[in-house]
């Protein structure tokens, strides 16, 4: 998860987020190179009194500064389109979970099971245990098996919400009357935190998302226990 004074992204916990981090570094390097070139040209033009007539009127340099930006945009667009298609790819999910946004909590329904669902509320500050995170802990976590494709159906019951988990590279709007879907695969076991990312009212800041990725055997034990309790 994020920590104080962090400048970069959270560590990737899914293959899609790893691709997003690589694309970010690729694009940022291009931005640095362009910024350096522009800064050098500005300093050179301001600090010298000499003028080259071929710079003022030259067909060749106009071709260069027209073609070069087009090539740079292509170098950015191609990997970007590839990641967009990867993010929309949903192949044979092992588990489907419906996440429903409410004011101001989330409810989860495991649609592959007959009766497995629960509401997830934020744990108040006064009830936190040592080591738990303020405004990020929920009384019920969304438990998923690691290294398995998970499909999440996202909707809302009242107003606009947004189901977002940065470490997994997921952000999907929850719209009343509409069912959006996204998918992810967790690369390793862990607990991943997110929050509603669409302003949804007075308690918008108090509806966290907690995804816990566990080995398949532990997930089966957890689901059996939840079914017994329900």
pLDDT of residue 48: 83
User: Where do runs of H (alpha helix) occur along the chain?
Assistant: 15-47, 53-56, 59-88, 216-229
pLDDT of residue 88: 87
pLDDT of residue 56: 67
pLDDT of residue 14: 93
Can you tell me the distance from the alpha carbon of 166 to that of 226, in angstroms, rounded to the nearest whole number?
A: 27
Can you tell me the distance from the alpha carbon of 159 to that of 163, in angstroms, rounded to the nearest whole number?
A: 13
**Domains in the chain, CATH or no CATH each:** 15-88 (1.10.287.90), 95-229 (2.60.40.420)
Which two structure tokens, joined as six digits, stand for 13?
Answer: 């916990």
**Phi, psi torsion values for 209, nearest 5 degrees:** -120, 125
What stretches in the chain show pLDDT beneath 70? 53-56
Distance from chain centroid for Cα 1: 12
Which two structure tokens, joined as six digits, stand for 96?
Answer: 């489907």
pTM greater than the 0.95 cutoff: no
Can you tell me the distance from the alpha carbon of 134 to that of 119, in angstroms, rounded to the nearest whole number?
A: 19
């Amino acid at each position: 998860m994020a920590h104080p004074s962090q400048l970069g992204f959270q560590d990737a916990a899914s293959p899609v987020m790893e691709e997003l981090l690589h694309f970010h570094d690729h694009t940022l390097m291009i931005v640095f190179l362009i910024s350096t070139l522009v800064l050098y040209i500005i300093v050179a033009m301001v600090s010298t009194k000499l003028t080259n007539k071929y710079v003022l009127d030259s067909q060749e340099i106009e071709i260069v500064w027209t073609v070069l930006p087009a090539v740079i945009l292509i170098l950015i667009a191609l990997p970007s389109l590839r990641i967009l298609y990867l993010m929309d790819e949903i192949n044979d999910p092992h588990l489907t979970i419906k996440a429903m946004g409410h004011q101001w909590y989330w409810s989860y329904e495991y649609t592959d099971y007959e009766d497995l669902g629960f509401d997830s509320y934020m744990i108040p500050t006064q009830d936190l245990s040592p080591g738990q995170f303020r405004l990020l802990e929920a009384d019920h976590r969304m438990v998923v098996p690691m290294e398995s494709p998970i499909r999440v159906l996202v909707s809302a019951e009242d107003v606009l919400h947004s189901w977002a988990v940065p470490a997994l590279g997921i952000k999907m709007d929850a719209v009343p009357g509409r069912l959006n879907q996204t998918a992810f695969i967790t690369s390793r076991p862990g607990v991943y935190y997110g929050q509603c990312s669409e302003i949804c009212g007075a308690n918008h800041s108090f509806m966290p998302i907690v995804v816990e990725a566990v080995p398949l055997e532990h997930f089966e034990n957890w689901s059996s226990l939840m079914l017994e309790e329900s």
